[in-house]
């Protein structure tokens, strides 16, 4: 290693140089370092770092410690029973997980979704994006030893989790999106709570900038660390905020608008640097864009049904009266479990908080899917993570890990 | 590059362009090709040996990464269907399209050429398809278990012949 520090000024004698050369011979002096699998970050996974000195020469990811075989279980359960299952891999981002699957099923069934339900989907998704980004930023904070960011991130995520609880009835595993619409309507109290939460976080964001983004220690840990160029990012199929931090203006919400994104006014933050700091900045700005969208939705949301008429008609009138007309809630009768979409296949994509989420559903006409393929954003990060970490110091691995927002259960599925 | 707001509706001709470019490979390579609307399309190959040729062609057209590689087991045909989904990041018009290329791999010779050298983003997909369905991707650099434990043995889990063991219910009976 010392060999590369050799300059005109500190020249060493020939013998000493020979000694150095022996150490850097290939295969010698390389050590293998296991990181994990006991929860090195945001879930159980193992990183095998091949190091020389403290430089990582190769990083091998060993995922699979939280593998739940969602794809296999999908071939053994009814379409409706899969809704809670598909959101389990990323419980902190469950609205997107749920929505992507439902969109694929709706495509096969050729179901239209009423406009109010589309707005509600966007609303829930953006609230979920904020809570997920704050979680990611908190994890990044504690990774690089900034415990204030960790505490703040997790604390300020709470109001947004609370909004989802008031809207859907559950804090994280919401199962909110159903074929043809959503499960519950937006009430006045949820609206007021959301406005409060947004105005609170808008004030708080300035504190984040002061104490985290403009902190010289944080900058030293993140700037020019884990750089991935635009070409490399495209080639390896990087997704989401990480891709946009490398200068690719790709966002599914703009490229293939779903839910109500066609009608919402928002911007896509893009940075060219491609380093850990740019990825953090993209997340921070996306939180602000999401807050703007939430305010827009509260202002513009149209009146109307929250479930497709075709589905609504199949619910017995007693149930409609008790649940829908009195409490604005959809409660499906048991026979919906054996819903049979027609034969066919569909691929759907949504922009989940960590990036693009792809579902490929194949139906053979029975009440159980023939095949469900789930490509989660963290799954797409596996190969880029290995590539990015090459040539960095061990101390940079947490910064890279945190800035990529890699979430092992999501990658394993 | 055009700004994102200008690109709300895809150019209708783009998917037709992809279809016509692929059709140039001829009937002996592509059995069936179809555009399903402006955003989706699929092509079915005559034989799996053409996958490398077709993926190189896809790269020429402008597709630059994979969205998914999916293996689907069909026990009655004794074959696995492998579906490749291509898309693009660098060309924002092409990004609106997800194009599927389908091919079949029989049980008795479960091998297909790896497209890792053309599309490096296929790395994880190919490894996963190998361990869960047993499709061997020739010339992939790391054709070994990834998500499954190192000592995993038996039938490939995503094949239909792999049945999930039900644990049953345990009830303590008082006697």
Q: Which residues of A fall within a CB distance of 8 Å from B64?
A: 234-235
Domain-located, residue B175? no
How far is the CA of A402 from the CAs of A87, A136, A283, A392, in angstroms?
A: 22, 7, 12, 15
Residues 98-137, chain A, touching B (beta carbon < 8 A) = none
Query: Taking CB atoms and an 8 Å limit, are A64 and B148 in contact across chains?
Result: yes
How far is the CA of A397 from the CAs of A43, A60, A244, in angstroms?
A: 15, 12, 21
Query: Which strands, in side-by-side order, build the sheet including A371-375?
Result: A344-352, A355-363, A371-375
For residue B1, the model assigns a pLDDT of 45
Q: Average pLDDT, stretch A44-49? A: 84
Q: Which residues pair with B105 in a beta bridge?
A: B80
Rounded to the nearest angstrom, the minimum Cα separation between A53 and chain B is: 26
Rounded to the nearest angstrom, the minimum Cα separation between B163 and chain A is: 9
**pLDDT, tens only, A336-351:** 888 888 998 889 999 9
Which among A243, A268, A358 has the least Cβ separation from residue B68? A358
Is the ipTM above a cut-off of 0.95?
A: no
Query: Taking CB atoms and an 8 Å limit, are B68 and A360 in contact across chains?
Result: yes
- What CATH number is attached to the domain comprising B55? 3.30.460.80
Q: Which residues pair with A351 in a beta bridge?
A: A356
In this predicted structure, the answer to whether residue A23 has a pLDDT above a threshold of 70 is no
Selected residue of A383, A384, A406 to mutate for chain B interface (largest B Cβ count, 10 A): A383
- Residue A155: name the closest of A143, A169, A138 by CA: A138
Q: Which residues of B fall within a CB distance of 8 Å from A67?
A: 147-148
| Chain A contact present for B158, CB below 8 A | yes
| Chain B contact present for A385, CB below 8 A | no
Homologous superfamily of A70-307+342-412: Cytochrome-c3 Hydrogenase, chain B (1.10.645.10)
State the pairing for strand pair B79-87/B65-74: antiparallel
Using an 8 Å Cβ cutoff, are A212 and A141 in contact?
Answer: yes
Which among B68, B95, B164 has the least Cβ separation from residue A373? B68
Instruction: Count how many domains chain B has.
Output: 1
Q: What percent of chain B has pLDDT over 90?
A: 6
For the beta carbon of residue A155, count every other beta carbon within 10 angstroms.
Answer: 12
Q: Mean pLDDT over all residues of chain A? A: 85
In this predicted structure, the answer to whether residue B3 has a pLDDT above a threshold of 50 is no
**How far is Cα A357 from Cα A96, in angstroms, rounded to an integer?**
8
Q: Which residues of A fall within a CB distance of 8 Å from B146?
A: 63-64
**pLDDT, tens only, B121-157:** 889 999 889 888 888 888 888 888 888 888 887 778 8
**How far is Cα A178 from Cα A52, in angstroms, rounded to an integer?**
52
Q: Return the exposure string of A235-245: e unless at least 16 CB atoms fall within 10 Å of the residue's CB, then b.
A: bbbbbbbbbbb
Residues 48-87, chain A, touching B (beta carbon < 8 A) = 63-64, 67, 69, 71-73, 75-76
How far is the CA of A257 from the CAs of A80, A384, B39, B74, B143, in angstroms?
A: 25, 26, 12, 34, 37
Asked whether the whole model's pTM tops 0.90, one would answer: no
Which among B4, B132, B148 has the least Cβ separation from residue A254? B4
Q: Which residues of B fall within a CB distance of 8 Å from A268?
A: 4
- Residue B52: name the closest of B140, B132, B144, B141 by CA: B140
Residues 83-122, chain B, touching A (beta carbon < 8 A) = 83, 85, 89-90, 92, 95-96, 98, 100, 119-121
For residue A223, the model assigns a pLDDT of 87
The SS3 assignment for B170 reads coil
How many Cα atoms within 13 Å fall on the side-chain side of residue B145? Answer: 12
For residue B171, the model assigns a pLDDT of 72
Model confidence at A3, pLDDT cuts 50, 70, 90, reads: very low
Query: Taking CB atoms and an 8 Å limit, are B85 and A358 in contact across chains?
Result: yes
For the beta carbon of residue B141, count every other beta carbon within 10 angstroms.
Answer: 12
| Chain A contact present for B4, CB below 8 A | yes
Q: What percent of chain A has pLDDT over 90?
A: 20
Domain-located, residue B155? no
| Chain A contact present for B8, CB below 8 A | yes
Domain-located, residue B170? no
Query: Which strands, in side-by-side order, build the sheet including B30-36?
Result: B30-36, B40-45, B98-106, B79-87, B65-74
Q: Average pLDDT, stretch A145-165? A: 90
Domain-located, residue B168? no
In this predicted structure, the answer to whether residue A6 has a pLDDT above a threshold of 80 is no
For residue A101, the model assigns a pLDDT of 92
Which among B98, B124, B162 has the least Cβ separation from residue A383? B124
Size of interface A-B (CB pairs under 8 A): 91
Which among A234, A257, A382 has the least Cβ separation from residue B65? A234
**How far is Cα A176 from Cα A178, in angstroms, rounded to an integer?**
6
Region of poorest pLDDT, from A372-376, A408-412, B104-108, B167-171: B167-171
In this predicted structure, the answer to whether residue A255 has a pLDDT above a threshold of 80 is yes
| Chain B contact present for A379, CB below 8 A | yes
Query: Taking CB atoms and an 8 Å limit, are A360 and B83 in contact across chains?
Result: yes
The tokens of B29 are what?
């390579």
Model confidence at B50, pLDDT cuts 50, 70, 90, reads: confident
Length of chain B: 175
Return the C-alpha torsion angle A209, A214, A215, A219, nearest 10.
Answer: 120
| Chain B contact present for A229, CB below 8 A | no
Query: Taking CB atoms and an 8 Å limit, are A237 and B90 in contact across chains?
Result: no
**pLDDT, tens only, A188-222:** 899 999 999 999 999 989 899 888 889 898 888 88
**pLDDT, tens only, A25-42:** 555 677 888 887 777 666
Domain, as residue range, for B129? 4-147
Residues in Cβ contact with B103 at an 8 Å cutoff, skipping those fewer than 6 apart: B44, B45, B47, B48, B50, B51, B81, B82, B84, B112
In this predicted structure, the answer to whether residue A327 has a pLDDT above a threshold of 80 is no
Which among A69, A76, A236 has the least Cβ separation from residue B121? A236
Domain positions in chain A: 70-307+342-412
For residue A125, the model assigns a pLDDT of 92
């Amino acid at each position: 290693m010392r060999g590369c520090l050799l300059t005109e000024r500190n020249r060493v004698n020939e013998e000493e140089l020979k000694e150095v050369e022996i150490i850097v011979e290939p295969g010698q002096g390389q050590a293998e370092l296991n990181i994990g699998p006991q929860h090195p970050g945001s879930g159980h996974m193992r990183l095998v770092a091949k190091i020389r000195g403290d430089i990582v020469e190769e990083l091998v990811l060993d995922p699979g410690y939280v593998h739940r075989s969602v794809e296999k279980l999908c071939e053994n359960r009814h379409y409706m029973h899969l809704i809670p299952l598909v959101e389990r891999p990323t419980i902190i981002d469950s609205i997107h997980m749920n929505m992507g699957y439902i969109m694929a099923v709706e495509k096969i069934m050729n179901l239209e979704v009423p406009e109010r339900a589309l707005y509600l989907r966007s609303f829930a998704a953006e609230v979920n994006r904020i809570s997920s980004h704050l979680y990611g930023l908190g994890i990044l904070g504690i990774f690089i030893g900034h415990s204030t960011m960790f505490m703040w991130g997790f604390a300020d995520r709470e109001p947004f989790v609370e909004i989802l609880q008031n809207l859907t009835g559950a804090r994280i595993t919401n199962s909110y999106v159903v074929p043809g619409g959503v499960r519950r309507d937006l009430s006045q109290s949820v609206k007021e709570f959301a406005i409060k939460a947004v105005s609170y976080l808008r004030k708080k964001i300035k504190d984040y900038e002061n104490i985290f983004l403009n902190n010289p220690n944080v900058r030293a840990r993140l700037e020019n660390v884990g750089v991935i160029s635009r070409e490399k990012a495209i080639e390896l199929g990087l997704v989401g905020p990480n891709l946009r931090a490398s200068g690719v203006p790709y966002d599914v919400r703009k490229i293939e608008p779903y839910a109500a994104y066609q009608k919402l006014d928002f911007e896509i933050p893009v940075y060219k640097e491609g380093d850990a700091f740019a990825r953090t900045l993209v997340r921070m700005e996306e939180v602000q864009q999401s807050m703007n969208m939430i305010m827009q939705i509260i202002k513009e949301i149209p009146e109307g049904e929250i479930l497709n008429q075709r589905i609504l008609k199949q619910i017995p009138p007693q149930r409609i009266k008790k649940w829908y007309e009195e409490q604005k809630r959809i409660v499906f009768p048991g026979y919906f479990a054996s819903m049979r979409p027609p034969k066919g296949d569909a691929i759907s994509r949504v922009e989940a908080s960590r990036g693009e989420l792809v579902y490929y559903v194949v139906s053979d006409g029975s009440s159980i899917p023939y095949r469900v393929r789930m490509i989660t954003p963290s799954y797409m990060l596996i190969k880029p993570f290995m590539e990015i970490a090459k040539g960095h110091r061990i101390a940079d691995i947490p910064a890279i890990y945190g800035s990529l927002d890699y979430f092992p259960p999501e990658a394993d599925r | 590059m055009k700004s994102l707001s200008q690109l709300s509706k895809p150019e209708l001709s783009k998917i037709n362009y992809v279809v016509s470019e692929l059709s140039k490979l001829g009937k002996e390579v592509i059995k069936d090709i179809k555009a399903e609307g402006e955003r989706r399309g699929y092509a079915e190959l005559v034989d799996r040996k053409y996958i490398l040729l077709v993926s190189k062609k896809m790269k020429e057209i402008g597709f630059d990464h994979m969205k998914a590689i999916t293996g689907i087991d069909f026990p009655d045909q004794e074959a696995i269907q492998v579906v490749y989904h291509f898309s693009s990041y660098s060309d924002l018009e092409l990004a609106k399209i997800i194009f599927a290329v389908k091919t079949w791999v029989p049980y008795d010779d479960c091998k297909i050429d790896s497209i890792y050298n053309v599309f490096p983003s296929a790395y994880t997909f190919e490894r996963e398809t190998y361990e869960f369905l047993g499709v061997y991707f020739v010339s992939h650099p790391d054709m070994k278990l990834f998500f499954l434990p190192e000592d995993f043995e038996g039938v490939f889990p995503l094949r239909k012949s792999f049945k999930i063991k039900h644990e049953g219910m345990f009830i303590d009976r008082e006697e």
